[in-house]
Amino acid sequence: MARSNSLRLYVRQTLRVLYGIVEVFFHWLFGLVYGGSGKSMPPITDLLLLESASSIAYKIRTRKITSVQVLDSFIERIGEVNPLLNCVVADRFEQARKEARAADELIESGAIPTDKLAQEKPFLGVPFTTKDCIPVKGMIHSSGLVKRKNIIAAEDAKVVASLRRAGAIPIALTNVSELCMWWESANNVHGRSNNPYNTNHIVGGSSGGEGCAQAAAISAFGIGSDIGGSIRMPAFFNGVFGHKPSPGAVPNHGQYPEPVTDEQARFLGVGPLCRRAEDLLPLLKVIADPKLRLDEPVDIKKLRWFYQDTDGGSFFVSPVTQDIRALFGKIVAHLQKAHRIKMAKVSYKRFSKSGPMWFANMKSPNGPSFQEQLANLDGSINPWLELAKWTVRLSEHTFIGIMTCLAEKGGCSYGDEKYEYLVKERNEFRRELLDLLGDDGVLLYPTHPTAAPYHNEPLIKPFNFSYTAVVNVLGLPSTHCPMGLDKNGLPVGVQVIAAEGNDRLCLAVAGEIEKAFGGWVPPAIKA
């Protein structure tokens, strides 16, 4: 038995070393292919674009600026950066102008007092964007799938409708990965999006276009969805804030593809992306169920703080870079110096099973396969035929979409012994973390092990998304908090996790981290 265990350990260590060598080699190779610093987004010349959505809303309703003025500023910014970044895939500028004029007329009329406007329409006249898988009435609803490129949304998603009732104005849709199931935003409907800090790098997925849009300041705020990190990874790669809410707190209505099982519906969360932490709470109050108790005050000095800076060594997952691990030391030092808070380091071994737990818990007993979903639920594609067509550029599908079909039956099957084991591990891990967090605890954890990879590099490190995915299957809220740029000028940051229903703790910590470390780093500014 001892000899068998030693052999198993030797094999594991050897595989880990070999994978590390492969990863380093391909990173070097992609560096040759995409070498250089790439192109950076143009500097911001209109200082209005630097303001929070909350500040813009206040200035609109108090007549310091007009909604039309704000809208024109963002439209001009889209025209300036989108040819370089390709994050916006459809717009409704003319309809938005009509809605902006109506907002200005309502304010000018004085029919509703300013204080009442702040309560009933807190984002009156404020432009926002959302990803092309969350429907906006009258706009394309493709989710990056060629077979859906002519589908027009018949109604708003509930989250969009809530924002409209709060006075916000949708102005454009942003790019996604094909059917929102990959962490680089590229598809055969709209093409590929480029990172605003270096166009040779990815924007993440599947809300990658939205993360890019917020970093580039093309709307006041955005909405994304997240079933394995699709809000938080784009927020991380683009240096903005992104919140994945507690299960069921925000309606998933309209999201395509729809969750196949009740479990998947719990994993999926619709939430905000924004440049300023102060916008997270008011936006969540508009779109979320009141059960989140968002109005309850949070004293960060009374919170119990914990952190873990790696997953403990998952197979085929990149090690956390030193630039990212150093962030935790900075937070520890800040809390001690500023608030005399001692943050405790923890080490949960089950984080190393994050990827397998996510894949197992995403299995469905009889739901549509990915092959059927790629056919838009009208039959099924033949992945082998599509792979052959892809080699000669005749397939409607992306390489990763096809490979996802081929890999779908791998690993465990719903209900088998391995599945049951991983579901049990998830449940045990959830209990462990809930015991740790209680009603006043927060856990800081890497959002991703590396800064934004080169384009296509995720193909070599597909399981790196496990750092965010595990939070979905655990059913916990999480906020990504940007903490500046690494040595290569790419955004880095951490995610903060709390117990289910304690989203307000995540948001309060996001505000503290922004105050201490600056948050979003804008491009060069011309006054």
Q: Is the dihedral of CA 187, 192, 197, 202 positive or negative?
A: positive
Residue 246 has what DSSP assignment? P
Coil, strand or helix at 354: helix
CA-nearest of 229, 192, 240 to 207 is: 229
Catalytic residue among 54, 73, 131, 177: 131
Identity of residue 269: G
Identity of residue 202: I
CA distances from 6 to 12, 13, 60, 316 (A): 10, 11, 68, 21
- Ranges of beta strands (E only) in 336-395 are 344-345
- Reported as type and span, the H/E element at residue 240 is none
Q: Is the dihedral of CA 378, 380, 385, 390 positive or negative?
A: positive
Residue with tokens 């289910």: 500
CA distances from 5 to 9, 11, 492, 500 (A): 6, 10, 38, 38
Catalytic residue among 142, 185, 230, 478: 230
CA distance 315 to 121: 49
Report the phi/psi class of residue 316: left, alpha or beta, with left for phi > 0 and alpha for psi in -120 to 50: left
302 is catalytic: no
64 is catalytic: no
Which two tokens mark 486? Answer: 């690494």
Which two tokens mark 32? Answer: 């040759």
Catalytic residue among 67, 206, 219, 246: 206
Coil, strand or helix at 360: helix
Identity of residue 325: R
Report the phi/psi class of residue 311: left, alpha or beta, with left for phi > 0 and alpha for psi in -120 to 50: alpha
- Ranges of beta strands (E only) in 52-126 are 88-91
The phi, psi pair for 140, rounded to 5°, reads -55, 145
193 is catalytic: no
CA distances from 121 to 114, 282, 471 (A): 10, 11, 32
> Which residues form the catalytic set?
131, 206, 230
